Amino acid sequence: LARRQAVEHGEKIFERVINWAEMGRKRINRLKNFSCITRKEIQARGFDLDVTKLTVNVTKTGLTGYRIEDILSGEYNIQVDCADVFNLIAITGSGTDKRDVNLLVEALEDIDSKYHGEEKNWILDLPSLSTEMVMMPQDAFFSNKTKRVPLRKAAGHIAAQSLTPYPPGIPVLIPGERITSEILDYLIELSAKDIRISGQETDSLRTIKVILT
């Protein structure tokens, strides 16, 4: 049924959705402390944009994307797709109507006038992901010769688990790789900013599972 709807009515449905998303993008870009990435900006860098997604930069608010995400959920009953330190992403689809976009924009307008934080450290130094693969990932993942070591003391060890910040959902470490000081510094910074890292054992990243040597 979904395929049939897409074939018979998809162009009409998504033309409407795209128009509403573009309307929302323009309105958000008129706000003082929020901005929305446009297709023209992305194409100027040699890429393209899924125009059904509203990627909203929040850095001028002085709050993180995580905090704005919580405010939208708790006070306005609006759930975005995901957030990071700098942005949040709201997605539209065939079930989205004009009212949904209006509710999001009106919530951001309200937040823009009511909230402002003091967060100023907006820089994340991305590490080189060119690491030394010491073991096959399968062998490291299923090894029964592992231990957990404090995050700050893990440099030089071989990872026995994956650690994946989300977004963007790209692993920083996978089993079998040598852990570098550069990657550790990055993970420590992510943890300090409360960025979600898939694979961590507790609410905060304190230890890493490594191969016994």
Residue with tokens 């009515």: 9
Question: Mean pLDDT, to the nearest integer, of 55-80?
Answer: 94
Q: Element (H or E) spanning 177, and its range?
A: none
Q: In this structure, how many other beta carbons lie within 10 angstroms of the beta carbon of residue 204?
A: 11
Sorted by sequence, the CB contacts under 8 Å of residue 45 that are 6+ apart come out as none
Do residues 164 and 197 make contact, with C-beta atoms less than 8 angstroms apart?
A: yes
Collapsing DSSP to helix, strand or coil, 211 comes out as: strand
Average pLDDT, the chain: 90
Range among 79-83, 107-111, 187-191 with highest mean pLDDT value: 107-111
Asked if residue 165 has a cis previous peptide bond (ω within 30° of 0), the answer is: no
Could you give the CA distance from residue 13 to residue 19 in angstroms, rounded to a whole number? 10
The pLDDT, as a whole number, for residue 121 is 56
Q: Where residue 31 falls among pLDDT bands split at 50, 70, 90?
A: very high
pLDDT at residue 54 in the model: 96
Average pLDDT (169-195) is 87
State the pLDDT at residue 204. 76
What does DSSP assign to residue 193? T
Query: What's the CA gap between 10 and 125, in Å, rounded?
Result: 42
Per-residue model confidence (pLDDT) at position 200: 79
pLDDT at 33 over 60: yes
pLDDT band with cut points at 50, 70 and 90 for residue 122? low
Q: What is the pLDDT of residue 68?
A: 95
Q: What is the per-residue pLDDT for 127? A: 73
Confidence (pLDDT) at 169: 80
pLDDT tens-place string over residues 169-180? 888 899 999 999
- Among 35-44, 114-123, 191-200, name the one with the lowest average pLDDT: 114-123
Query: Residues 27-54: what's their mean pLDDT?
Result: 94
